[in-house]
Amino acid sequence: MDNTPSRVLPAVREIIAEVRKAVIGKDDVILKAMLAMIAGGHILLEDMPGVGKTTLAVAFSRAMSLECRRMQFTADVMPSDVTGFTALDRKDGNFEFHEGAAFCNLFLADEINRTSSRTQSALLEAMEENSVTVDGVTHKLPSPYIVIATQNPVGSAGTQLLPESQLDRFMVRLSIGYPDPASEALILKSKKSTSAADQIRPVINAEQLEGIRKMTADIYTDDRVYRYIADIAAATRNSPEIAVGISPRGAVALSAMSKATAVLKGRDYVIPDDVDYVLMPTAAHRIIPVSQSRSREEAEAVLKNAVSSVKPPRI
C-alpha cells in the first residue's frame, strides 16, 4: 500500500463501511474510533450494557485482520490474568513464562471499572510501552497494539473509578448511546442466525495498519497549529472551573488525533478545524472539574467554557 493520504483514504473508508455492517446508526462513533486507531491510541467506551461496545471492537478487529482477545473484568480477575505469569516447568526445572490475555493486537477489556485497582493498573505499562514486565523480565506485546476498554457509567452497581493516570492513557473516550428508533428497527431486522460481525470482510492487515500509523505521525502540522493546541491545554490549566487540566500527554494525543483527521479528509496537513473536531473526545476525560464530578456531560461543558476564548489561527 502506498502510504499517502490519497492512497490510504479508500482503505480507511472501506474499513468504516465494513464496521457499519455490524454497528448500525453510530457513524460518528465509528469514525472517531477509527481516528484513534490510526493515530496509535487506545479507546475507552463508556456506556450502559447492551449498546454494542463489544460488537464495535470485534468488527474493527475483523476488518483489519487483527488478533483479538476479550476479557471480562470482574472483582476476582488478577493482574497475572492480564499480563501473564511465570511457572515452574517440572520437566526441566526451569521457570517458563505463560502469556496473559493482553498478548494480542486488539485487547478488549470489558467492564474495566468492575475490577480492582491493582488489576486495572496491570494495563498501564501495556498501554504506554506496548510491553509487560513480569518477575523483572519485560515482554514485548504484538504490534500494532490497541486496547479498547469498556466501562459502565459511574455509579453503576459494583463499579469503581479508574485512576486519572489510567484515564490519561486512553486517547479518546467515546459513548455509543442508545440507537434512534429507525436504527433500532434495522438492528432488529438484521438479527438473523448469523452474527453481523461474521459478515465483515478483512480490508487491511496488521502490517498495513502499522504503515498507516507511521504515515499519520508524519502529517505536516504548522507551528501555529501546534501553538493552538498548546494554548488549549493552557486554557484548561488556568480555568477557574477546572481543578486539573490537560496533561502534556493529552496535548500530544490531541495533536495525533488532529493528524488522523487530516488523513481521513484526504489532506497531508493539519488545519485548526481538525483540532476542534476531536477536542471533546480526546480531552474531556483528562480534566477534573472543580466540582470533582465524573459526569461526561459536565466535563465537556466546563471544557467548552475553558477553551471558548482561545482563537484558532488563520491558515
149/232 same-domain check: no
228/106 same-domain check: no
The residue among 183, 202, 217 that closes a domain is: 217
Residue-number span of the structural domain to which 202 is assigned: 1-217
58/70 same-domain check: yes
**Residues 96-123: tens digit of each pLDDT:** 889 999 999 999 999 888 888 888 888 8
In the prediction, which pLDDT does 90 show?
77
156/185 same-domain check: yes
185/236 same-domain check: no
227/305 same-domain check: yes
The residue among 162, 186, 217 that closes a domain is: 217
Measure the CA dihedral 176/71/128/2, to 10°.
Answer: -70
Range 43-52 average pLDDT: 84
By mean pLDDT, which of 143-157, 262-276, 284-298 is the weakest? Answer: 143-157
CATH number of the domain that residue 110 is part of: 3.40.50.300
In the prediction, which pLDDT does 196 show?
67
58/186 same-domain check: yes
**How would you classify residue 156: left for phi > 0, otherwise alpha for psi between -120 and 50, otherwise beta?**
beta
Residue 63 burial (CB < 10 Å; 0-12/13-18/19+)?
A: buried
User: How many folded domains does the chain comprise?
Assistant: 2
249/120 same-domain check: no
239/131 same-domain check: no
In the prediction, which pLDDT does 156 show?
59
Question: Do you find a cis peptide bond into 163, omega within 30 degrees of 0?
Answer: no
9/95 same-domain check: yes
In the prediction, which pLDDT does 54 show?
86
**Residues 50-78: tens digit of each pLDDT:** 778 888 999 999 999 999 999 999 889 99
Range 183-196 average pLDDT: 74
In the prediction, which pLDDT does 192 show?
62
CA–CA distances in Å: residue 77 to residues 145, 238, 311: 21, 40, 47
pLDDT band at 154 (very low <50, low <70, confident <90, very high): low
Nearest to 203 by CA among 3, 13, 28: 13
235/250 same-domain check: yes
Rounded CA gap, 247 and 167, in Å?
11
Range 208-222 average pLDDT: 96
CATH number of the domain that residue 308 is part of: 1.10.8.80
Rounded CA gap, 224 and 220, in Å?
12
Q: How many residues does the chain have?
A: 315
Place of cell 470482574: 74
The residue among 192, 217, 242 that closes a domain is: 217
In the prediction, which pLDDT does 195 show?
67
- Grid cell, residue 63, equals 476488518
178/255 same-domain check: no
